[in-house]
Chains A and B, each alone.
Chain A
Amino acid sequence: MATKVVMEALSPTMEEGRLVAWLKQEGDAVSAGETLAEVETDKAVMELVARSDGVLRKQLLPEGATVPVGTLVGVIGAADEDISALVGPSATASAAAAGAAPASRQPPAMPTPAHVGRIFASPLARRLAAERGLDLGAVTGTGPSGRVVKRDVEAAQLAMASAKAAERLPQATAGAVRAVRPREPAGVASAAATPAASAVAAPAVPLAPPGGYRDVPLTQIRKTIAKRLVQSLGPIPHFFLTTEIDMERAADARTHLKSLGDAYAVSFNDLVVKACALALRRHPAVNAAFLDDRVRYHGDVHIGMAVAVEDGLITPVVRHADRKGLAEIAAESKALAEKARARRLTPEEYTGSTFSVSNLGMYDIDEFTAVINPPEAAILAVGRVAEKPVVVNGAVVPRRMMRVTLSCDHRVVDGATGAKFLRTLKLMLENPLAMLL
């Protein structure tokens, strides 16, 4: 009895998948559980497994094609079985037609509840969005009835462009790179202790001809980033709190731990993650989420860490960061970062955070503002640790200082609450021993 192989939802948010490579060819025997193909989802590259035994009779999707979840992509059956019923013209047509992935399949982000499920957009806006790989549903429409028009698409693209601009920064090595513009989206961070630029594989930027340009279609991850950022920056009322933290003691502690051996090595970011987790315990109001008609206060603390990957950014999660020791956090964050760069994160590994941390310190960024990952209430943007002249007890001394900026969702967290959280965070980091308490 022949069975269908369909594009499965391999992540909770997946709506379409790109078939990266067939691992089994037509005519190969397969058994249930064996991997048939590699599929790129909105987050990572996943395995599509066979659900039955038999022979892979038909590959209905070429490598590289993108189709919606549920599309028939193959047929498993007995070697001599008649599978024409399953592989009818309609079946192959729907698979074949999936070549051009529609970007605008996501449900509408914002707007007027009256139009749930239907996006109003001018024909021009639709075309521009499709050409630029923007999700129409994520664009706020300013025309009548929330119609998305050209200027809205251009605004959304501008937001995406500034995200891309931030992406290019890894290449800068000389001097301090100042990202002073507000609303800089969540940037690149590496959980690994090693300095950044060389460790992160530079995304291949195609050379544009002088006087011209070169277009590169968006990959799944880019589309998701774009969608998520616009969903965040648009509707969420951000405000930003910055504080400068004296990292002398933290730096000394780190150096000291490192001298004890690799098993004890931790990064500045690990310290930040731990400190955040503890601070969140003390300020549960910040360990929260905005959900349309209510605020959710989480019982657990799971910290998401922004990691730069080849073509973008993903946020693997250290679960129960408040309960884990620094060493465990260090090991886990390193492993997660590697998995993230290899696009091998499982959905459980990149979902569920209650608070996020983004660190651009390894790129010599002094400070920046990050975009909240909805539905979280806040995100911490961490700058570099740098020696600065500071006044201590009336004298100017060099101290290793670090500036952090907390972005808060004003619907959940107000100024005082955020400030108090930051003060606790500062206390923890300036007095690392306090984290043992």
Chain B
Amino acid sequence: MPLVTYRDALNQALREEMRRDPAVFLMGEEVGVYQGAYKVSRGLLEEFGPERVVDTPITELGFAGIGVGAAMAGLRPVVEFMTWNFALLAIDQIVNSAAKMLYMSGGQVPIPIVFRGPAGAALQLAAQHSQSFDSYFANIPGLKVVTPATPADAKGLLKSAIRDNNPVVFIEGEMLYNTKGEVPDGEHVVPIGVADVKREGTDVTLVAHSKMVGLALKAAEELAKDGVSAEVVDPRTIRPLDVATIAASVRKTNRCVVIEEGWPVAGIGAQVVDDIQREAFDWLDAPVLRVTAADVPMPYNKHLEKLAKPDVPRIVAAVNRVLYRA
């Protein structure tokens, strides 16, 4: 199986879907001539032309709304935010227009749109450029929220998102674009709403999504040296969450640590913990613990930034606590 970067996997997905369905088009800042701020859309302008690969002015609210309007009229837009930090400007269109349209119209007007872009911290980008808003969108009925961690998942899920008849918030990661992974040849579609066990284990369940999957896998290796067998469950889709797979894992291991890149208060992990305690209460031998970002804006300094982000030692410490090990 070929090794493909996360970035190229996304590129493949866009290309394949745009070839497959003429109603699909890409819109965003620098997606065309510049070849994409992160080169995700490299070569697409050349293949599909400026009508289908549309460079926009720096007007997130405007072009997100135009995307929704185009979807109302039957097209299938992919709206790229250079980063999700800027999507706050467009949140009115995502939440009040895209998410609500089908319901408000009594089922008449679906919005088959994908909003995509990178989120979360990179390196020393400081407070306004390092944020994770997955829980903002996961909160909204009418939206789907997808967070692929690997190139294979990125490709398969983007294809599904584009084919989905609902607004999909598709969250990538700058730090993921260069990662490589095996991506199956040919038509590769991953269903939305299905979690993936990335590593099997018996002693503890680690739930992690997006960039945190890699971290969880590293932590699992560390733990294995100590005789602890950790199972890593990647939800892949945050809304709707595959609670069944997560709960089944916790029933197997009796203990769980949830890892997320975002802030702790009302973060995605809080929802996961709620689902676990309801679905697997009698199988829990310890409280479910979370490892999250520090509850602070992201600092610029390199060392402070490290302190602000989850890391392997913190995950291992949490695992030891739920195992009642010193």
Contact = CB atoms under 8 A, between A and B. Distances in A.
Do A and B touch directly, given a CB cutoff of 8 Å in the complex? yes
Interface of A: 122-127, 142-144, 149-151
B282 A150 contact: no
A123 B251 CA distance: 12
Across chains A and B, which 5 residue pairs bring their CB atoms closest together, nearest first? A124-B285, A127-B282, A150-B285, A122-B285, A123-B281
A126 to B, nearest CB: 8
B3 interface: no
Contacts of A144: 324
Contacts of B58: none
A124 B324 contact: no
Interface of B: 254, 281-286, 324
Contacts of A149: 285-286, 324
A123 B282 CA distance: 5
Contacts, number: 27
Nearest to A144: B324
Contact of B254 (A124, A126, A142, A143): A124
Contacts of B286: 122, 143, 149
Nearest to B281: A123
Nearest to B282: A127
Q: Determine which residue in A124, A125, A143 has the highest number of CB atoms from chain B within 10 A of its CB, and name it.
A: A124
A151 B282 CA distance: 15
B282 A143 contact: no
Contacts of A122: 284-286
Q: Determine which residue in A142, A144, A150, A151 has the highest number of CB atoms from chain B within 10 A of its CB, and name it.
A: A150
A150 B323 CA distance: 10
Given A122-B284, A123-B285, A124-B284, 6 more contacts: A122-B286, A123-B281, A123-B283, A123-B284, A124-B254, A151-B324
Contacts of A123: 281-285
A292 to B, nearest CB: 28
A144 B289 CA distance: 15
A149 B324 CA distance: 9
A151 B324 CA distance: 10
B314 to A, nearest CB: 19
A143 B324 CA distance: 7
B247 to A, nearest CB: 13
Contacts of B281: 123
Nearest to B321: A144
A150 B254 CA distance: 9
Contacts of B254: 124, 150
A432 B276 CA distance: 69
B228 to A, nearest CB: 14
A126 B285 CA distance: 9
Nearest to A126: B282
Nearest to A151: B324
Contacts of B284: 122-124
A142 B324 contact: yes
Contacts of A151: 324
Contacts of A142: 324
A249 to B, nearest CB: 57
B118 to A, nearest CB: 39
A210 B286 CA distance: 34
Contacts of B282: 123-124, 126-127
15 contacts: A122-B286, A123-B282, A123-B283, A123-B285, A124-B282, A124-B284, A124-B285, A125-B285, A142-B324, A143-B286, A143-B324, A149-B285, A150-B254, A150-B285, A151-B324
